Amino acid sequence: MLTLAFLKTGLLMAENNYTEDNIRSLDWKEHIRLRPGMYIGKLGDGSSPDDGIYILLKEVLDNSVDEFVMGAGKTIEISVKEGNVTVRDYGRGIPLGKVVDVVSKINTGAKYDSKAFKKSVGLNGVGTKAVNALSDRFMVQSVRDGKTKIAHFEKGALLEEEDIKESSLRKGTKVVFTPDSGIFKNYRYAHEYIEKMLWNYAYLNPGLTLLFNGEKIHSENGLKDLLAHNLDVPTMHDIIHLKGDDIEVAITHTERSQSDNYFSFVNGQHTTQGGTHQSAFREALVKTMREFYNKNFDAADIRESVVAAVSIKVIEPVFESQTKTKLGSSDMGPDLPTVRTFVVDFVKTKLDNFLHRNEEIAQIIHKKILRAEKERKELSGIKKLARERAKKASLHNRKLRDCRIHYSDQKNERRLETTLFITEGDSASGSITKSRDVNTQAVFSLKGKPLNSYGLTKKVVYENEEFNLLQAALNIEDGLEDLRYKNVVIATDADVDGMHIRLLLITFFLQFFPELVREGHLFILQTPLFRVRNKKETIYCYSDEEKRAALLRLGAKAEITRFKGLGEISPDEFKHFIGEDIRLDPVMLGKDLTIDQLLQFYMGKNTPQRQEFIIENLRVEKDVVDEEEIELINEN
């Protein structure tokens, strides 16, 4: 038993141990490496579009794009091969005497001079320094005035600073880096995420050409192109494209979606979490429509099925984090109006003028709002009962084992780690529940196979208990603004039934909440198929190839266990698979098919084309080591 005297003694000892030796000063690179999350958000392995390795690339690209904005250099070359990244622009080039300082001294950069970079993204002098500190290898080269300067670094430490030399190369800056494999474990760049990032740069900077591994990315029509290229469902009318000084807007309505979806940007930065400009746009849209149609429509009816993009330029923007995903600024700049006033005034004037000049589109939007109003009133009773059922269910059943931190907790540093595992059956959910991190990982347990929702209306989401409770757990009824988990992970057995459940859940999200998939929130959990072990070592294998490699390492007498289902994996083992070594496969939408075409092919009526696809892609799993594997092991 602890006595008060003992506690006081311990406190005095702790106070006496607090001396000058406890005070430590970190240099710039040590601090970045010790607390990388402060600078680049979550680390990750590249399976999520906001993982740190993409933020590193973005920080370098921002500088090159700012050069284009300032009228210097129309082309940027990007190469990403086997984890090595190269970015070459043809801007003005870093002043040669400052090449080392710009990438290795915090709070050093030209963007503090608002005359040189009036409306830039990066204003805190951290960007490339963070890339440098978090890279195994980092090289920067500047070319200007017929001369060049090169510097090499390792984990932020200067290895070699070459002398200034004569050069016939075109002016500009080249950065080459390799993310630190000790910090970004098992990382892999997904080219789909990089392409999306680069297309956003192109849409926001018409006339800029980006060459990604030789592929040209270019836009002439800005946000109009962005919407056109990102829409994967039919639209009700042509895209409304409005442009002004320091603001650009594109708007349309989709046929099927019942929520609103936004692409918002500030000074070229994709603000995935929105902010003051996006809130102002949503407000302006409602005000304009109410005044134009002279009726006090419900805001939800006006915004239903809206897909819009909004981009503004702000002098010295303030973001809510170093990764710049949410605008916090309330003003456009010194002696300028607020962001809200600026956006609302622009939209009310320009959109109102457009609707008066385009009566056909105005009528289409009016009919859409009236239809949304009718459907909302018809569903209101069902929704009320569904919410009551969800609230009551959360009180007395165990379908959802929630976590303590949520994605909507804007001030919490660990919000980007928040994950909901959707599991099948009690045994699988039990294993994950016992081994999860209760702070950031929640578990939702399905009861049997979910309904095939293809072709059904939103009404089924409220009438089906599983869907209703899942929607309530995610808090996505009215869009992603208050999404409770950053990652939504489908965790099913790697058998035929498990694959079917995956397909049914993906169908549900694509049918009713496609933005969850578009924004990179949906994943498939990869768990090992085999455990290979001897008396000294255990290796978990996710494929036949990994199993063969493990057998070569441990020998033919190693014990092989084939995991038939998640329930067979003990909680102690599961900790490895949902912790630091978690493997997530992102669910991505391809370029070739729209969502409607995709769902029709996989979930619609059976067709010869689908039968042919299944036959061609059929794969037979083997549970035992075949003779060729044993022979290979014996040879080694």
CA distances, 239 to each of 242, 254, 266 (Å): 10, 11, 21
Higher pLDDT, 437 or 43: 437
Average pLDDT in the 359-365 region? 97
Higher pLDDT, 194 or 110: 194
* pLDDT recorded at residue 330: 78
121, pLDDT greater than 90: no
As beta bridge partners, residue 420 has 442, 488
Which secondary structure element, helix H or strand E, spans residue 134, and what is its range?
A: none
Q: pLDDT of 503-555, one tens digit each?
A: 999 999 988 888 898 888 999 998 888 899 998 899 999 888 899 999 989 88
Which among 502, 546, 503 is positioned nearest to 525, based on CA atoms?
Answer: 502
Distance CA 19, CA 28 (A): 24
357, pLDDT greater than 80: yes
122, pLDDT greater than 70: no
Identity of the residue numbered 131? V
Q: Tell the residue number behind the tokens 């014990």, with chain if given.
A: 559
* pLDDT recorded at residue 7: 43
Buried b (16+ CB within 10 A) or exposed e, 441-450: bbbbbbeeeb
Distance CA 62, CA 403 (A): 35
As given in the structure block, the two tokens for residue 576 are: 């490895």
Q: Tell the residue number behind the tokens 């003779």, with chain if given.
A: 627
Pairing of strands 157-161, 75-81: unpaired
Residue 485 CB neighbour total at 10 angstroms: 27
95 CB contacts (<8 Å, ≥6 apart)? Answer: 142, 144
* pLDDT recorded at residue 324: 67
* pLDDT recorded at residue 15: 53
As given in the structure block, the two tokens for residue 131 are: 């890339």
Note whether 427 and 405 are within 8 A (CB). Answer: no
403 CB contacts (<8 Å, ≥6 apart)? Answer: 418, 419, 436, 437, 438, 439, 440, 441, 442, 485
How is residue 237 annotated by DSSP? S
Task: Please report, in angstroms and rounded to a whole number, the separation of the first and last CA atoms in the chain.
Answer: 60
Which secondary structure element, helix H or strand E, spans residue 208, and what is its range?
A: none
349 CB contacts (<8 Å, ≥6 apart)? Answer: none
617, pLDDT greater than 80: no
Lowest mean pLDDT among 176-185, 215-224, 376-385, 399-408: 376-385
**What mean pLDDT, rounded, does the chain reach?**
84
Lowest mean pLDDT among 144-153, 261-270, 604-613: 604-613
Q: Identify the band that residue 81 occupies on the pLDDT scale cut at 50, 70 and 90.
A: very high
Distance CA 438, CA 425 (A): 20
Q: pLDDT of 315-331, one tens digit each?
A: 878 777 656 677 776 77
Determine the length of the chain: 636
As given in the structure block, the two tokens for residue 7 are: 């506690």
Distance CA 17, CA 133 (A): 32
Q: Residue 151, exposed/middle/buried by CB under 10 A (0-12, 13-18, 19+)?
A: buried
Distance CA 149, CA 96 (A): 6
636, pLDDT greater than 50: no
Domains of the chain plus CATH, in order, are 33-218 (3.30.565.10), 223-376 (3.30.230.10), 398-527+565-604 (3.40.50.670)
Q: Identify the band that residue 370 occupies on the pLDDT scale cut at 50, 70 and 90.
A: very high
